[in-house]
């Protein structure tokens, strides 16, 4: 965790997906052929720029990170965001990146996302098989991600705040319980479900959560380790996909076990009205 919380050894390049007709960004290592890639979906009332450090971090560890920048308003289409994720992978696998010295391996792809973006990642994976899926602090979507999760056979990582496993605007336990393949539901101690997004957001102004560096640091490490293992088969990081492994400052939750009130989340009136 300590190692993966820090930037990796690769120089990072940034590109604009709009050139290929898809609003969004792509971050890559400085060079490399046959690289793994992840398409990442933002949370509600956020955009790709609110995850810049996370995306750069993944690229510094050798993973191409691509993120769409649509569906940023108060009434987003979750199906549309899932479609954008699939388009992003089509773009980064269909062309050489950088100066032509960067390519992506079609067999080493993943979907990931935060909040509603976590649900969108599951919706995308139900339509397009990938090697891994990560839902970070997932929130309900329409259609419900848990309704299609049985179709997802890829290894899954579901990350939640320890005090927000399931509730009106969180569905981590339901999602993990419905997963079609192997999935790990890991709770991060003292994390904030809204804390992953960086910078200033409308939600923070409304009092529904601010950026939290501890949440960001722990989540970056969990996601990076999970992707390095599932996409590159590097056994150094196998614990991040193992429900029996002990990972500092986190604990695994059995999604099939009854959740007491402490783990159902304590939502203020504003967050209940807004959702995520």
One DSSP character per residue, 194-235 reads TTTS-S--HHHHTTS----HHHHHHHHHHHHHHHHHHHH--G
Q: Which residue has the higher pLDDT, 81 or 164?
A: 81
Q: Domain 12-274 belongs to what topology?
A: Rossmann fold (3.40.50)
Residue 212, pLDDT score: 84
Answer yes or no: are the C-beta atoms of 194 and 83 closer than 8 Å. Answer: no
Distance of alpha carbon 87 from alpha carbon 22, whole angstroms: 8
Q: How confident is the model at residue 275 (pLDDT cuts 50, 70, 90)?
A: very low
Q: Is the pLDDT of residue 127 over 60?
A: yes
Q: How confident is the model at residue 149 (pLDDT cuts 50, 70, 90)?
A: very high
Give the helix ranges, DSSP H, for 233-265: none
Mean pLDDT of 34-48: 96
Percent with pLDDT over 90 in the chain: 74
Residue 208, pLDDT score: 53
Q: Is the pLDDT of residue 85 over 50?
A: yes
DSSP β-bridge partners for residue 202: none
Answer yes or no: are the C-beta atoms of 172 and 138 closer than 8 Å. Answer: yes
Residue 170, pLDDT score: 82
Residue 194, pLDDT score: 85
Residue 271, pLDDT score: 39
Q: Which residue has the higher pLDDT, 37 or 274?
A: 37
Q: Specify the 3-state DSSP secondary structure of 95.
A: coil
- Listed by start position, the domains of the chain span 12-274
37, 60, 245 from 238: Cα distances, Å? 18, 20, 9
Q: What is the pLDDT of residues 221-252, one digit of tens each?
A: 999 999 999 999 999 999 999 999 999 989 99
Lowest mean pLDDT among 153-162, 187-196, 242-251: 187-196
Mean pLDDT of 170-184: 94
Distance of alpha carbon 221 from alpha carbon 5, whole angstroms: 5
**What's this model's pTM, rounded to 2 decimal places?**
0.90
Q: How confident is the model at residue 125 (pLDDT cuts 50, 70, 90)?
A: very high
Q: What is the pLDDT of residues 88-118, one digit of tens each?
A: 999 999 888 877 789 999 999 999 999 999 9
Percent with pLDDT over 70 in the chain: 89
Residue 255, pLDDT score: 87
Distance of alpha carbon 79 from alpha carbon 120, whole angstroms: 7
Nearest to 270 by CA among 198, 213, 202, 212: 202
Q: Is the pLDDT of residue 191 over 60?
A: yes
Q: Is the pLDDT of residue 120 over 70?
A: yes
Answer yes or no: are the C-beta atoms of 270 and 208 closer than 8 Å. Answer: yes
Rounded to 5 degrees, what are φ and ψ at 174?
-60, -40
């Amino acid at each position: 965790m300590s190692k993966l919380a820090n930037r990796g050894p690769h120089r990072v390049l940034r590109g604009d997906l709009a050139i290929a007709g898809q609003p969004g960004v792509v971050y890559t290592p400085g060079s490399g052929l046959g690289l793994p890639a992840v398409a990442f979906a933002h949370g509600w009332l956020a955009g790709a720029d609110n995850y810049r450090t996370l995306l750069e971090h993944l690229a510094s560890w050798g993973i191409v990170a691509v993120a769409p920048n649509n569906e940023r308003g108060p009434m987003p289409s979750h199906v549309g965001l899932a479609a954008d994720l699939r388009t992003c992978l089509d773009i980064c696998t269909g062309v050489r990146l950088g100066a032509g010295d960067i390519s992506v391996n079609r067999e080493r792809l993943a979907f990931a996302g935060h909040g509603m973006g976590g649900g969108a990642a599951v919706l995308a994976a139900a339509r397009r098989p990938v090697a891994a899926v990560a839902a970070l602090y997932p929130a309900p979507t329409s259609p419900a991600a848990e309704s299609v999760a049985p179709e997802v056979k890829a290894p899954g990582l579901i990350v939640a705040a320890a005090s927000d496993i399931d509730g009106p605007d969180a569905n981590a336990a339901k999602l993990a319980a419905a997963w079609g393949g192997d999935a790990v539901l890991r709770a991060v101690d003292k994390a904030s479900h809204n804390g992953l997004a960086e910078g200033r957001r409308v939600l923070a102004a409304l009092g529904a959560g601010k950026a939290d560096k501890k949440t960001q640091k722990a989540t970056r490490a969990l996601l990076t380790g999970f992707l390095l293992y599932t996409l590159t088969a590097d056994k150094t990081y196998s614990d991040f996909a193992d429900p029996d492994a002990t990972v500092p400052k986190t604990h695994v939750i059995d999604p099939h076990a009854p959740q007491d009130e402490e783990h159902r989340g304590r939502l203020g009136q504003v967050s209940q009205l807004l959702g995520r």
